[in-house]
């Protein structure tokens, strides 16, 4: 520290620096320097859960700032490292409580040491490696003869379990380069203490076993179906984590593999909990700070360990749970970015519920429910809006897939459409959500637990709707909540602020007929306006359609057999029943009739008939019979065409434009016939005179 600045070093290298923000704290002359315990107050405010766990060596205090060179000498563990001029644990008297003192050379402080723990279970090589990985370790390989002797001596206590002439696997291989043996853990080269006549397998034997007789090694094929025990190299950088209890801090969940009890490795928590074997597959959790038994576990085999997820029976009240109740706990090395398989293996949490089996025991695809329903949730009541006192905003995406029939006579439009509704339910939380919406499908079981909006169709004849499909999805719209370090599965973070997209009672591909008022006066040059009405089943005070989150998409061809779809739109309105006001979504589309066929089949023939009738006026007056026969025949044909066309038209009480046209043509032909008769009468009168 210097001039209000601090500098932090790790291993002699600067890792951090910054200003000192805390103020001056006066110390009494009778104050005590306490090492290994966090103090909330001067010389008091101790907490048993805040005890330092580890090794302390050469604690020094100076009344000045050290330079980088001095810090480097301290980190080098040399004899020339200066002691603190205010305090030094190597010079001044230190009172020790609850700790052991060991004197070692200064150079030993910088020398890396490797520990090991033997798991006395006969396994193939791959299984032995998996056992070590599940406790955050690698298969152990002694680097020196002294380390090998220590491993051999430790293995002798397990001769009744590791019953083989070659009882231990060794964590080294020469697969990459024949004759050059490297550790599994860090790929460093070692010189194996081979037994007499070994190695003898050449490139076909790239793995190692320890000989029971003298602890020497023998090479062997890596795929050999040989059963031996697994020595695992201790690794303090990757602690085991016990999840499922009510720990306040993540560090309280940390465990490590230490010594042996009942000829089994035991697991010791950083803050006093201990899990150890009682034999015959029984395991016990003990609070070593109070000596109280906390929980017990019964496994089906003596060879199994409490790694992974298991159901424990409480022996004492714990986390507001009564004794003799069960609780699911997990013990694994999985961090917060990983999912804990039931076996204790770890997979990335994005693999959870992704439709593929990534855990060896397939547990990552079990219990993939996405919805977390809180206590007191009522599926009959819609959730509240985003603002207090505001109704729930309901977004709707309407897709018209096909218009299958337009009936002028029955006055309806039959179509296939889809309505996707979106809303936010702030009462719910969700787990195991993916970015791909398909993986966030809500199961039918979960759908029965949730409130979902129901749509009514005021202009659809009763019973004239056919349900084809009904699905519900959840879409992520925000980041998840922070991971719960005490979650027994890890990787199942809860997410909030999510939109649910179910199709509810208006599902995908719904067939339905909707009433439409047709004005046929201008037939066949008419333009019709039709609507599909979507009504919320709940009062507008509780649920309303969003005025800025409604979309209409027309997916069918705009050129229909009888009409053109000129335009379409959707807007929000209300339906007032004099008792309750409901929010209403109105989908409007404009239809223009395709008139070319009517022109060809009606107007062109009638025009031709009219011309024929009119042409009889130019026939000689003396040919009365010809003129009358042609005119009358034309009139009869025109009338027959009129009747045939009228049968295909909607039955209306008012006159249509096509009726006016026929009446006009018939009237003209009638007048032409009368003219022929009058002309003939006048001609006969003139002849008689």
Q: Which of 415, 414, 413, 654 is nearest to 529 (CA)?
A: 413
Bridge-based pairing of strands 87-88 and 60-61 is antiparallel
What angle, 0 to 180 degrees and rounded to 10, lies between the N-to-C axes of helices 657-688 and 604-615? 10
> Within 10 A of 318 (CB to CB), how many other CB atoms are there?
19
Residues 6+ apart with CB under 8 A from 108: 77
pLDDT of residue 682: 78
Res. 16: pLDDT tops 50: yes
Res. 497: pLDDT tops 50: no
| Greatest CA separation for the chain | 165
DSSP state of 480: B
Is 111 in contact with 88 (CB distance < 8 Å)? no
3-state DSSP assignment of residue 205: coil
Residues 6+ apart with CB under 8 A from 579: none
> Within 10 A of 491 (CB to CB), how many other CB atoms are there?
25
Backbone φ, ψ for residue 30 (5° rounding)? -100, 25
CA distance linking residue 59 with residue 10, whole number of Å:
15
Backbone φ, ψ for residue 22 (5° rounding)? -75, 150
CA distance linking residue 427 with residue 400, whole number of Å:
32
3-state DSSP assignment of residue 333: coil
> Within 10 A of 6 (CB to CB), how many other CB atoms are there?
13
CA distance linking residue 328 with residue 313, whole number of Å:
9
CA distance linking residue 343 with residue 349, whole number of Å:
15
Tell me the torsion sign for CA atoms 305, 307, 313, 318: positive
Tokens 């003939």 sit on residue: 680
Least confident of 128-132, 253-257, 366-370, 588-592: 366-370
Confidence of residue 409 (pLDDT cuts 50, 70, 90): confident
CA distance linking residue 485 with residue 490, whole number of Å:
7
CA distance linking residue 302 with residue 504, whole number of Å:
52
pLDDT of residue 685: 65
pLDDT of residue 686: 64
CA distance linking residue 42 with residue 201, whole number of Å:
67
CA distance linking residue 582 with residue 579, whole number of Å:
10
Is 362 in contact with 436 (CB distance < 8 Å)? no
CA distance linking residue 448 with residue 467, whole number of Å:
18
Q: Which residue has the higher pLDDT, 652 or 252?
A: 252
Is 74 in contact with 9 (CB distance < 8 Å)? no
Backbone φ, ψ for residue 446 (5° rounding)? -70, -35
Least confident of 205-219, 466-480, 518-532: 466-480
Distance set, CA 208 to CA 49, 118, 167, 174 (Å): 43, 16, 11, 10
Tokens of 211: 């000989």
Q: Average pLDDT of 235-243?
A: 84
Is 395 in contact with 477 (CB distance < 8 Å)? no
Is 39 in contact with 46 (CB distance < 8 Å)? yes
Res. 500: pLDDT tops 70: no
Q: Which of 406, 382, 360, 435 is nearest to 131 (CA)?
A: 360
Q: Which of 531, 523, 614 is nearest to 567 (CA)?
A: 531
Res. 121: pLDDT tops 90: yes
Is 380 in contact with 451 (CB distance < 8 Å)? yes
Is 133 in contact with 338 (CB distance < 8 Å)? no
Q: Average pLDDT of 175-201?
A: 91
Q: Average pLDDT of 549-555?
A: 87
> Within 10 A of 315 (CB to CB), how many other CB atoms are there?
16
Strand order in the sheet with 494-495: 371-372, 429-431, 494-495
Is 309 in contact with 322 (CB distance < 8 Å)? no
Helices (H), 156-311: none
Q: Which of 307, 390, 5, 285 is nearest to 130 (CA)?
A: 307
Q: How many CA atoms lie within 13 A of 321 on its CB side?
A: 18
Mean confidence (pLDDT) of the chain: 84
Q: Which of 594, 617, 609, 598 is nearest to 673 (CA)?
A: 617
Q: Which of 12, 9, 16 is nearest to 77 (CA)?
A: 12
pLDDT of residue 341: 92
Res. 145: pLDDT tops 60: yes
Least confident of 18-22, 326-330, 413-417: 18-22
pTM flag (> 0.75): no
Residues 6+ apart with CB under 8 A from 47: 37, 38, 40
Residues 6+ apart with CB under 8 A from 508: 418, 420, 468, 469, 470, 471
Is 328 in contact with 488 (CB distance < 8 Å)? yes
CA distance linking residue 453 with residue 543, whole number of Å:
9
DSSP state of 478: S
Q: Average pLDDT of 646-675?
A: 84
| Residue 659 parent element (H or E) | helix 657-688
Q: Which residue has the higher pLDDT, 504 or 530?
A: 530
Res. 101: pLDDT tops 90: no
DSSP per position, 87-129: EETTTS----SS-------GGGGGS----EEEEEEEE-HHHHH
pLDDT of residue 346: 92
CA distance linking residue 493 with residue 337, whole number of Å:
10
């Amino acid at each position: 520290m210097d001039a209000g600045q601090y500098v932090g070093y790790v291993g002699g290298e600067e890792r951090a620096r910054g200003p000192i923000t805390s103020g001056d704290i006066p110390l009494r002359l009778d104050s005590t320097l306490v090492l290994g315990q966090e103090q909330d107050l001067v010389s008091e405010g101790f907490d048993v859960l805040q005890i330092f766990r580890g090794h302390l060596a050469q604690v020094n205090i100076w009344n000045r700032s050290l330079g980088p060179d001095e810090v480097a000498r301290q980190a080098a563990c040399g004899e020339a490292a200066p002691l603190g001029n205010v305090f030094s644990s190597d010079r001044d008297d230190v009172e020790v409580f609850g700790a052991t003192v060991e004197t070692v050379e200064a150079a030993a402080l910088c020398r890396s040491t490797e520990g090991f723990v033997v798991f006395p279970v006969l396994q193939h090589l791959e299984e032995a490696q998996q056992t070590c990985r599940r406790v955050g370790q690698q298969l152990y390989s002694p680097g020196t003869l002294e380390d090998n002797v220590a491993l051999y001596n430790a293995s002798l206590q397990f001769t009744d379990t590791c019953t083989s002439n070659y009882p231990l696997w060794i964590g080294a291989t020469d697969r990459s380069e024949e004759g050059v043996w490297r550790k599994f853990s860090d790929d460093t080269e070692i010189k194996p203490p081979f037994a007499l006549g070994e190695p003898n397998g050449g490139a076909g034997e790239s793995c190692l076993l320890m000989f029971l007789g003298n602890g020497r090694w023998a090479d062997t094929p890596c795929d050999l179906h040989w059963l031996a025990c697994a020595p695992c190299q201790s690794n303090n950088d990757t602690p085991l984590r016990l999840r499922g209890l009510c720990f306040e801090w993540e560090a309280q969940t940390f465990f490590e593999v230490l010594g042996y009890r009942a000829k089994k490795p035991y697991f010791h928590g950083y803050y006093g909990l201990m899990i150890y074997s009682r034999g015959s597959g029984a395991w016990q959790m003990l609070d070593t700070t109070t000596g109280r038994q906390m929980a017990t576990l019964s496994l089906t085999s003596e060879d199994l360990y409490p790694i992974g997820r298991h159901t424990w029976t409480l022996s004492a009240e714990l986390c507001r749970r009564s004794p003799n109740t069960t609780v699911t706990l997990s013990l694994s090395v999985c961090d917060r970015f990983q999912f804990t398989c039931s076996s204790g293996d770890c997979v990335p949490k994005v693999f959870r519920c992704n439709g593929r089996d990534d855990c060896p025991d397939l547990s990552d695809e079990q219990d993939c429910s996405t919805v977390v329903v809180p206590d007191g949730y009522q599926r009959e009541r819609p959730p509240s809006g985003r603002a207090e006192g505001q109704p729930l905003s309901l977004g709707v995406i309407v897709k018209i897939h096909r218009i299958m029939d337009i009936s002028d006579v029955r006055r309806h439009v039959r179509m296939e459409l889809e309505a996707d509704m979106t809303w936010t339910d702030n009462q719910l939380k969700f787990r195991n959500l993916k970015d791909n919406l398909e993986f966030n499908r809500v199961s039918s079981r979960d759908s029965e637990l949730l409130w979902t909006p129901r749509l009514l169709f005021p202009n659809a004849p009763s019973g004239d709707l056919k349900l084809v499909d009904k699905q519900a999805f959840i879409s992520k719209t925000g980041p998840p909540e922070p991971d719960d370090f005490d979650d027994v599965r890890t990787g199942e973070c809860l997410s909030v602020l999510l939109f649910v997209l179910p199709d509810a009672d208006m599902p995908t591909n719904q067939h339905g007929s909707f009433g439409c008022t047709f004005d046929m006066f201008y037939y066949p040059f008419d333009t019709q306006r039709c609507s599909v009405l979507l009504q919320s089943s709940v009062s507008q005070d509780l649920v309303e359609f969003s005025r800025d989150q409604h979309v209409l998409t027309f997916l069918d061809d705009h050129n229909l057999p009888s009409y053109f779809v000129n335009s379409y739109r959707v807007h929000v309105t209300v339906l007032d029943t004099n008792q309750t006001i409901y929010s209403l979504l109105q989908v409007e589309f404009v239809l223009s009739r395709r008139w070319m066929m009517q022109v060809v089949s009606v107007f062109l023939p009638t025009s031709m008939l009219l011309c024929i009738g009119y042409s009889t006026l130019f026939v000689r007056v003396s040919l009365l019979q010809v003129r009358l026969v042609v005119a009358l025949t034309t009139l009869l044909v025109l009338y027959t065409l009129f009747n045939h066309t009228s049968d295909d038209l909607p039955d209306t009480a008012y006159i249509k434009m096509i009726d006016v046209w026929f009446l006009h043509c018939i009237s003209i032909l009638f007048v032409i016939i009368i003219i022929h008769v009058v002309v003939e009468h006048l001609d006969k009168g003139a002849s008689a005179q």
